[in-house]
Amino acid sequence: MNPQVIIPVYDPIVHVIAYGGNVFNKDLFFSKHVAMLTLFIVPEERPVIKKLMIVIVLIVAGLILLQRVHYTIDGIAVPLILIGVFKFTKMNFLIREKN
């Protein structure tokens, strides 16, 4: 990314506690907004609600990418990573229950 278009990330609380008064520039991997919404989708069992929530996640991811604060992979990778981790964890617990 061109250094002239980096967006300084400023959180007033973390700014004082962790960064010692310095403005911290980071690449924001990955979008926490999309991540939190995806976490609600994974355990949902009702198909209609699940589909509605997927549409909402896609809209939020699209809007975040339109802001040009995140890289494209940030919006795409989040749901895939979280769903993969959820399935891996669920599979791991099922294997432990059988033994």
Over residues 48-77, the mean pLDDT reads 84
Residue 61 burial (CB count, 10 A): 22
14-60 pLDDT, tens digit per residue, is 666 666 666 656 555 677 788 888 888 888 889 999 999 999 988 98
Tell me the percentage of the chain whose pLDDT exceeds 90: 12
Residue 55 lies in a domain: yes
Tell me the average pLDDT of the chain.
Answer: 77
Burial of 97 (0-12, 13-18, 19+ CB in 10 A): exposed
Residue 7 lies in a domain: no
Quote the domain boundaries for residue 76. Answer: 29-98
Residue 82 lies in a domain: yes
Q: How many CA atoms lie within 13 A of 71 on its CB side?
A: 11
